[in-house]
Amino acid sequence: MEISKFNLNYEEYNKDNLNGLDITTLINRAVSNNEKNFVEKNSEGLYNLEDENSIEIYVKMLINGTTYKMEKINNLGIDSFTEYFGEVGFKCIDITYHKNGKIASMTFEAKEY
């Protein structure tokens, strides 16, 4: 897939009026991308972010000030995340890019809880 098309699939979430359901969709998309591109995981089950085909989603929660990697949310249960945070507002606060121009990571922050 062309880099600009790839990025568009994620850059459409670069806004401040998202909800938890949007974040769930994005996490599922990123995990699917990493699996499809055979991005390796380390012993902790975290994707190798040096791989230029990888993408990581970070979610910063206001209730405890902690930023979670998508693997952690996925491992704890994406359905539980959706159940508890599906209606919570989120905004994109950061995007990073690999040297090849593909999106490397996106960070989202809960706006309220």
Residue 40 burial class via C-beta count within 10 angstroms: exposed 0-12, middle 13-18, buried 19 and up: exposed
The answer to whether 78 and 29 are in contact (CB under 8 A) is no
Total Cβ atoms within 10 A of residue 72: 16
The single-letter DSSP state of residue 81 is H
- Please, is 26 exposed, middle or buried when counting C-beta atoms within 10 Å of its C-beta (0-12, 13-18, 19+)? buried
H/E element, 96:
strand 89-97
What's the confidence (pLDDT) of residue 59? 96
The pLDDT of residue 105 is 97
Q: What is the pLDDT along the chain (113 residues), one digit of tens a residue?
A: 699 999 999 999 999 999 999 999 999 999 999 999 999 999 999 999 999 999 999 999 888 889 999 999 988 889 999 998 999 999 999 999 999 999 999 999 998 75
Q: Which pLDDT belongs to residue 97?
A: 97
Range of the domain at 74: 3-110
* Number of domains the chain contains: 1
